Structure 1
Amino acid sequence: MNPNDTIRLLILNDSQAEAERLISMLHNAGRPNRAQHVTSDESLVKLLEEQAWDLAIAHDHTQNVAPAKAIQTIRRLNKDVPLILQTDEEGSLPIVEGMKIGACDVIRLDEDQHLLLAISREMSNRQQRQDKRIAERRFRESERRAQSLLDSSRDAIAYVQDGLYLYANESFAELFGYDDKDDIDCMPIMDMVADSDQARLKEFLKDFTLKGVDAESTKVDFKGLRNDGGTTDIALEVSHATYDEEPCMQFLARATRTEGPSAQEIEAVKSRDVVTGLYNRSYMISHSDKVIDSIADGQSRALLYIEIDDFADSVQGKLGVSGADMALADLANLFNSQVAEGETLARFGDSSFTLLSAQTTAKDAVARAEKICQLVADHIVEVNSKTLQLSASIGVSLINENTVSAETVIEQAIDAMEKARDSEDTSALLYEPPISAEEKEEKNILAEVQHALDNDLFRLMFQPIISLRGSDDEYYEVLLRLTNQNGEEISPNRFLESASEAGLGTKVDRWVILESIKMLSEHRSQGSKTKLIVNLNRDSLCDDSLLPWLGVAFKAAKLPADSVVFQTQEIDVTNHLNAAKALNNGLTKLGTSLAISSFGCGLNPFNALKHVNAQIIKVDGSFTQDIQSKSENPEALTQLLQELHELEKVTIVPYVENASVLSTLWQAGVHYIQGHYLQEPTESMSYDFNMEG
């Protein structure tokens, strides 16, 4: 695309001032644009349907039009509008999240030069996709013209590969006495050659094949076997060719006939369905391809795939084959009454029809499909004094400048029809692009999380943390578990990450905190001094309302605040230093404390401790696992622990799976250990700490 071309731009941003700044920046950078500030989902749909757009730029936290929903809308309307996200946040997390929802890039809000380069790239990519679509349409049009010439040619033409007919036109079929060219498809050549000439023809074809594609066209004659068992003299011109992208040989017999119907008359008969008088399947596919190839930017048509529900049982089973044909003819008349100028109606299958509309929008196309479904439901079919009331399901697929082929459009409409047929809410649906397996899994997990929150279905597990230094403190780490509705356990890392991405992280954490406090209160009422370590995700780390809420929760449970330690991961502390520092200070004032887990994997893990003075540090489990698997010596862990102890931190080492590592940890001065060697997580706080004394 020429850099001086005007960019048709959609801007999704809650700030009108920022939208204006963006437009001004593009103009100042020599990128003229015609921009529209999108303020609602409805206006986005209207703009996409009424005009062609090159690009969308959205802020990742805009509320008027959520970027994820905007991307879904663009896909649903079959528009080629790449979307670039802008973000205020640092780090890779917003980039990953943006890419997951389908953004083509995620760029910091103040990085205008980066944005300009991304715009140039996406405009170039879009132009290449457009050129590819145009080339594909022209190629298909050339193929259709060539095929049409072959089908209607009075010359007898066939294509042969590996001794079998790939294709033969009607004239070639007639040469051998066949009524339909399809009867010859995949038939061996020698089945149509008299025995006396088979050896000679085999030798000829073998020699011609060996000469390769550079061989000149040559002639061969033989006695051909007709369909009725008789013989006929055949003289063919043979040449190398390509058919349907396959190398093959072309057989050609020049026409001598001048009588019979014209090609146009033959085509008119071939394009009609005998039962209903409507256009047939092959005509609809061919016609739709021509419409797709000629559609202009901004134009939008729709293909409605109409399926009569339970046709085999409700119609054929009651009326028989001939009666069913009469019913189809009656329905064809009903549908034909709804066809406007410039539209095409066809019988597509045994019990299905297709309607190619004129210019329309997605909303209007679905509304029309619903109207047709109602017409069918209200219509009474009468055949031989028997009456039937039927229903229909309709799938709608849009056709615009981004549509590739009729085959794709029809497949999409059938997919939407099948969903409508299975739906209890509607009889007509617009095709929705399928979500990826990863997106589907993400949605399922989020549904499970929401279901668990709504129905109190999460489970808490408790794993003891044992002192190596004779401390009287009894610690358990609280671990969250989720079993889906099929009885399968979902990995905590998976569902907690999904919950956080969907904005449910704080709700999950607060459920865990309340349940933990409740169970701890009951446990301590029996005389123990047990303490819990409760994990917080990054959403809670940045939640300003958490501290006052905790104060109320502790007071209501009549628990001392120091009975619960709140733990967050090093990576979250590093990415949100100010929030972590504020939380640590607030917890200290509340009488409790903050622990940092997964410590030691960052490039400079001790930098976080300069800002966040957490007293309890749990090192990353990979250190212990590597030592136990003999893949790494303990020096790295020992050095890390030494530095932590010099800072007077209380250290916890997790993933202790066997006794071999205990001596190393003891010598390194570790305060607490945790792992399956001591006890796996259980549903109760039942570990006997006294046996460790």
Structure 2
Amino acid sequence: MARTSAIKLLLIGFNDDNAEDIISTFRRAGKVAHSKLINDGKELQEQLSDSHWDLAFFDAVHSKLSIAQCGQILRHANVDLPFIYLSDDENIPLPDTSVSLVLSNQNRARLLFFAQRELEALASRRELDATKAALLEEQQRNALLLDSHQDAVCYITDGMIIYANTLFCQQVGHDDLDGFPIVDLICNKDQDRFKNALKKQPGNSDGSTLEISFLSSDEQELKSSVTCNNASYDGEACVQLTLHEAGSGAATGHLDATTGLANRKHFAQLLQDFVDAQRNSNSSLIVLQLDNFDKFRRDLNLHNTETLIQALSERLQALIPAQYYGRIADDLFAVIAHHVPSQRALETSQEALKAIESEIIEVKKQSLQCHFSAAIMPINHLTTPHAATLLDQCFETVQSIAADGGNAAEIYHRDRQQLQRSDEISTLIEEAFADQRLQILFQPIINLSDAEGDYYEASLDIRDWQEGEVTAGEMLRVVEKEPNNNKLDRWIVVETTKVLAKKRAAGEDTKLTINLSGNVFHDSEFCSWLSVAMKAAGLPGSALILQFSEESIASSLKPALDCCRQLESLGIGLAVRNFGRSQDGNKFLEHIKPALIKPGVRKTDSLSADEIREIIQGGRQLNSRVLIPNVSSAASLAVLWQLGPDFIQGSYVQDPSTEMSYEFAAFG
């Protein structure tokens, strides 16, 4: 099982003492275990259908439910669940086919060893199932990409079509061509010439183009230009046919005459359409420039240079899978890779550049070695919606790479201002917004008390932070020097509540603690603005807790009290971070009545047991729930179980991330 997951146990036929003994065995080994006692078959059926379990134990000595009944229920439920039979004699044969192994009820060390082995085997099986599901999804995605390819494409082996995309079928006038002999689609006058081209193609490293007349299903002749290339489909060597109808593509000026790719104007339109429709798809634009192009053109002449460009175009298409390809200048290629994040596009580009550099390309008996400079532009919600700007920005990057020697790939990064601590506060925040440096991170909070719902804490973060820049925490502190500056806090609320609203709309009882600055206390319209924003998002007040530092409350106690009363009228809780940092903090916090307190601890520090007891005692005096951060290990969690805070969070649970995606059920 994963290090951060609680083990979920089904205990069948156990009394309370024996069940607690089993759970204690796991806890002493540093494992978090949650259990459910089962005493009858109906209850077992309900638990198997309603929840996911990791391990089941059967007490053969005390169980009123027979092992045969249990086995029948498990088989009917069709769940993958290790089932351990505990008996006074572990040398007996397996009493049922559902039983994984038989162990003695007396030897707890042996029980723990074999239980861990079963859990590891279960984790391996689940990982295998997840991998198979991911593979199937990838195969379906690849099939979809092929089917929606911008060109009419089919794949042929031994003269039979093994796959033809929708566009190819449409152009030759058939609904389905899989398993169809390709020659039956071609007019008699061209069949011999086409057969010869197919025979020669496997030995031809370059593609070949020929004019062919196809015969549609209604006996109409369709004159077309066909490009043949060696390819692989489902691991089988084959020939790829790319079909260009006369009067389309190159004939209408959409395609580059040399490569058959989209020309600059058409590619720019394809990119604009893609950005308009798929801006949030986490895709990539790749622009590649042939290094030393002027030298090749001087040495080869114009015609031979175009021959070289054609060969390189075919290699790039083979090495970089994508949805759209274009030649946007004499020495520039562009690629739109759908659902390919920028980091993966960078790795693919680097592999392609390395492969091309290692190859020798023959042009008119001259052996040439080529390499490219490549720029990768992420296409996501932060991307400018203008295709021309994207291409210009990529061009600037490849020019810079080429000037440094070329033969490299980089992800485009917008030039940005350093967020200096010495800057004016308003300037600092405006630059952060202008450079899109701000983001929200969410960290799950584990509930150890009787509170209802799933909890997260939302915090401001600086994207791509560098040493020497102001941190997000510092930004929240320094903005308080301008009490009337409310832009940052309102932006945080808008961004976090958008995510929370989507989460709750999916039916999840999610509650969010949002970290804000003390400027909220001086924003007289904040609470009324927040009320309108919550109604628009469909959020109840109970779904939100606004968290402020103890220092901010202490320095603005009267406006903090007014704000607290207004938040209370909206049903919104108030939480205190950095609890314990101010002298006499408990005295003024008695007036605030915080719903939650969180001690101020550096990320690299941890609290001692005595410090935690003192914090919990302070929380009880305020009638506030207590959150202990920085839980980084099973050992620290075991201590906290005994001390009794209401909530915990830390790397042992999950580090902060840009999504609220934690599986709370994994913790029980």
How high is the TM-score relative to the length of structure 2? 0.35
Q: Higher relative CO (CA 8 A, sep ≥ 6), structure 1 or 2?
A: 2
How high is the TM-score relative to the length of structure 1? 0.34
